[in-house]
Amino acid sequence: MPDTPLLDTVTFPADTRGFDAGQLRQLADEVRAETIDAVSVTGGHLGSALGVVELTVALHHVFETPDDILIWDVGHQCYPHKILTGRRDRIRTLRQGGGLSGFTKRSESEYDPFGAAHASTSISAALGFAAARDQKGGSNRVVAVIGDGSMSAGMAYEAMNNAVEATSGQLTVVLNDNDMSIAPPVGGMSAYLAKLVSGGTYRSFRRLGRSMAQHLPRPFRDAAKKAEEYARGMVTGGTFFEELGFYYVGPIDGHDMEALVPVLKNAAAITDRPVLVHVVTQKGKGYAPAENSADKYHGVVKFDVVSGKQAKAISNAPSYTKVFGTELIKRAQHDPSIVAITAAMPGGTGLDLFGQAFPERTYDVGIAEQHAVTFAAGLAADGMKPFCAIYSTFLQRGYDQVVHDVAIQGLPVRFAMDRAGLVGADGATHAGSFDIGFMGTLPGMVLMAAADEAELAAMIATACEIDDRPSAFRYPRGDGVGVEIPERAAPLEIGRGRIVREGTSVAILSLGTRLQESLKAADLLSARGVSATVADARFAKPLDAEMILRLAREHECLITVEEGAMGGFGAFVLQLLAEKGALDAGLKVRTLHLPDVFQDHDKPEAMYAAAGLNADHIAATALTALGIGAARGAVRA
């Protein structure tokens, strides 16, 4: 544990309010050491947190949190904030079951006035808080901190566009520009910010001194007159933001406490217009292994603090993500119309591999899922074969585009939905729980779910051939099950499932990831003298009606299993059975799916157990339905 004498005196931000610049610097150093040490035992989003240590200390020193509202965009950089807001005693439980969330969360602390984890929501939320304050005649201040990567999303612009009209009072947006998203940032705004930073203004701000006050907008000038040192580090510019009605201040060095504190004090005092403070930081700041790594330790597993070496688990199977990337490359080698789209997640989606193989056919559109989907629709409309690879949870943001721009027009966009199902430590915000329901209800959509990595390869091959309508395939976070992938996977027959194991009394109909557990459940049932068929549905849409109706006819009990929310595969099957009268003769149907709650972060195994999607739960469900009765423990292997 690091030596933290000053931090030890701080439990809440109020404890820092009397600190001088030297003490604030020392506090930042100690918070940084504490953050590194904590994440070394928990894993998590380290690089972004290290980049905002000074900013966090300065914000809590200047603003009267929690009365003043401080909103972190994404929230993945909030560990220093948690350390300073009464949660240091639990900081080594970050992202662990029952422990602190890795993001901001309203239920966790009054210092988290708004929860997040998806990007680019902070300015809208802050504007809402500012407008609420205005409505109530309050006087508290409101701050949003948003990263340069998150500044690529439509929501951020929608909020800035509305800011001047929605609030007549104080609102500070801190643009934390570390010139990084998860991958290097992309797009015109990123280039614009780089230009602002590389301009003479930034290089020379230290020389500007008090004369700068003359060039500042009037409120700054007045404030600067009161405290001339506040003017240091403030530079006008940023035409784009000015045109939207903001005062633009910056760029300033986000690691320089003597620049940060006075500038933030000034921003807090401005009430006639919103202020955008452009702060330049370094992702991974102050920890050499992070600073020197390509991803700046954006997300790490446990690591050794001295060497920075991460304790990566060894696996015998490739990750689904890697299978997606490599299989798509194979297909693209024979089909020049295949192109791939990612919304700022090239590494996370495996499209970094595709991008190396086909740089000209890979589009990283930034954090802009809505645009990604409609951009793919345009590509498809003009004869390309777009694979739009977006995590299930982030595709939620592009849903109207999926409906309106893709599905209604019947365009053959292929949606590769990674991280479908539970994701462990990132928790509820990142779980891909809903895609079966929201994609499966769309007319014309072909929706597949991979039970293993060979199935994923087959589904990619299938999607390649679907040229007359949209298609989607879902697959989970993590490694495959270790099955062999054929050199050239054959496409599947659309709407055909497969029987994996034949039995007589119970039919377990699995969609996607829980097939292995379903097979284990069949073993458990067999040990209890119950014969089970196990089928892999492969398709949530169109359903294999023939297979499902046969299972219904030939078994006493039918259990659907899926790693998705209610209202998904099980609901589709029930609807089919009802429509075809297959429920009329007493078939016992049970639908196993994710529980109707937002499951908190935990180890995946614990989450599956809590969800009731393990072999013993499946088997117990069958036994209970058959009236054989079994406490779960009774069927455990």
Ligand X SMILES: CC(=O)[C@@H](O)[C@H](O)COP(=O)(O)O
Ligand Y SMILES: Cc1ncc(C[n+]2csc(CCOP(=O)(O)OP(=O)(O)O)c2C)c(N)n1
- Secondary-structure percent of the chain, ordered helix, strand, coil, rounded to 5: 45, 15, 40
Contacts of 462 (CB under 8 A, 6+ apart): 446, 448, 471, 473, 491, 492, 494
Instruction: State the binding partner of 48 from Mg ion, ligand X, ligand Y, none, CB within 5 to 8 A by kind.
Output: ligand Y
Contacts of ligand Y in 384-443 (CB under 6 A): 394, 397
For 19, 40, 489, the CA distances from 311, given in Å and listed in that order, are 38, 10, 34
| Beta-carbon count within 10 A of 579 CB | 10
CB of 340 to ligand Y, least distance (A): 16
CA pair distance 329, 332, nearest whole angstrom: 5
119 annotated among ligand-binding-site residues = yes
- Of 182, 244, 263, 442, the residue at the interface with ligand Y (CB under 6 A) is 182
Residue 74 as a binder of ligand X (CB under 6 A): the answer is yes
Check if the beta carbon of residue 168 is closer than 8 Å to that of residue 130: no
484 annotated among ligand-binding-site residues = no
Using CB under 6 A, count the residues that bind ligand Y: 24
What are the contacts of 127-132 at 24+ separation with CB within 8 A? Answer: 127/159, 127/162, 127/163, 127/166, 127/167, 127/171, 129/69, 129/71, 130/166, 130/167, 130/169, 130/170, 130/171, 131/166, 131/167
For 257, 346, 456, the CA distances from 354, given in Å and listed in that order, are 42, 9, 16
148 annotated among ligand-binding-site residues = yes
Nearer to ligand Y, 402 or 547 (CB): 402
Contacts of ligand X in 259-318 (CB under 6 A): 299
Nearer to Mg ion, 180 or 620 (CB): 180
Residue 419 as a binder of ligand X (CB under 6 A): the answer is yes
- Of 95, 265, 361, 477, the residue at the interface with ligand X (CB under 6 A) is 477
Contacts of ligand X in 124-183 (CB under 6 A): 182
Contacts of 362 (CB under 8 A, 6+ apart): 339, 340, 341, 342, 346, 351, 354, 355
Q: Which two tokens stand for residue 410?
A: 């019947």
Nearer to ligand X, 52 or 244 (CB): 52
- Window contacting ligand X (CB under 6 A); options: 32-40, 419-427, 496-504, 543-551: 419-427
CB of 180 to ligand X, least distance (A): 12
Residue 118 as a binder of ligand Y (CB under 6 A): the answer is yes
Contacts of 579 (CB under 8 A, 6+ apart): none
For 221, 270, 394, 593, the CA distances from 429, given in Å and listed in that order, are 43, 34, 9, 18
Nearer to Mg ion, 299 or 570 (CB): 299
Binding mask 571-610 for ligand X (x = CB under 6 A): ----------------------------------------
Binding mask 466-505 for ligand Y (x = CB under 6 A): ----------------------------------------
CB of 125 to ligand X, least distance (A): 17
CA 365 centroid distance within chain:
16
118 annotated among ligand-binding-site residues = yes
CB of 7 to Mg ion, least distance (A): 26
The angle that helices 545-554 and 569-579 make with each other, rounded to 10 degrees, is: 70
The angle that helices 122-136 and 154-166 make with each other, rounded to 10 degrees, is: 20
Rounded to 5 degrees, what are φ and ψ at 229? -65, -20
493 is catalytic: no
- Of 344, 425, 508, 613, the residue at the interface with ligand Y (CB under 6 A) is 344
Check if the beta carbon of residue 121 is closer than 8 Å to that of residue 152: no
The catalytically annotated residue of 32, 95, 141, 283 is 283
Contacts of ligand Y in 251-290 (CB under 6 A): 283
The catalytically annotated residue of 369, 455, 562, 563 is 369
Check if the beta carbon of residue 340 is closer than 8 Å to that of residue 372: no
CA pair distance 386, 34, nearest whole angstrom: 45
Residue 426 as a binder of ligand X (CB under 6 A): the answer is yes
Check if the beta carbon of residue 255 is closer than 8 Å to that of residue 281: yes
Q: How many CA atoms lie within 13 A of 245 on its CB side?
A: 18
Nearer to Mg ion, 33 or 186 (CB): 186
Nearer to ligand X, 190 or 471 (CB): 190
- Of 348, 386, 437, 470, the residue at the interface with ligand X (CB under 6 A) is 348
Nearer to ligand X, 385 or 430 (CB): 430
Assign 570 to helix, strand or coil: helix
CA 357 centroid distance within chain:
26
283 is catalytic: yes
Instruction: State the binding partner of 601 from Mg ion, ligand X, ligand Y, none, CB within 5 to 8 A by kind.
Output: none
CB of 178 to Mg ion, least distance (A): 4
Contacts of ligand Y in 159-178 (CB under 6 A): 178
287 annotated among ligand-binding-site residues = yes
Assign 528 to helix, strand or coil: coil
Residue 148 as a binder of Mg ion (CB under 5 A): the answer is yes
No. of helices (H) and no. of strands (E), the chain: 27, 17
Greatest CA separation for the chain: 88
Give catalytic residue positions: 283, 369, 397
* Contacts with Mg ion, residue ranges (CB under 5 A): 147-149, 178, 180
* Contacts with ligand Y, residue ranges (CB under 6 A): 48, 51, 74, 76-77, 118-119, 147-150, 178, 180-182, 283, 298, 343-345, 367, 369, 394, 397
Binding residues: 76, 117-119, 148-150, 178, 287, 369
* Contacts with ligand X, residue ranges (CB under 6 A): 45, 74, 76, 182, 299, 348, 419, 423, 426, 430, 477
Binding residues for Mg(2+): 148, 178
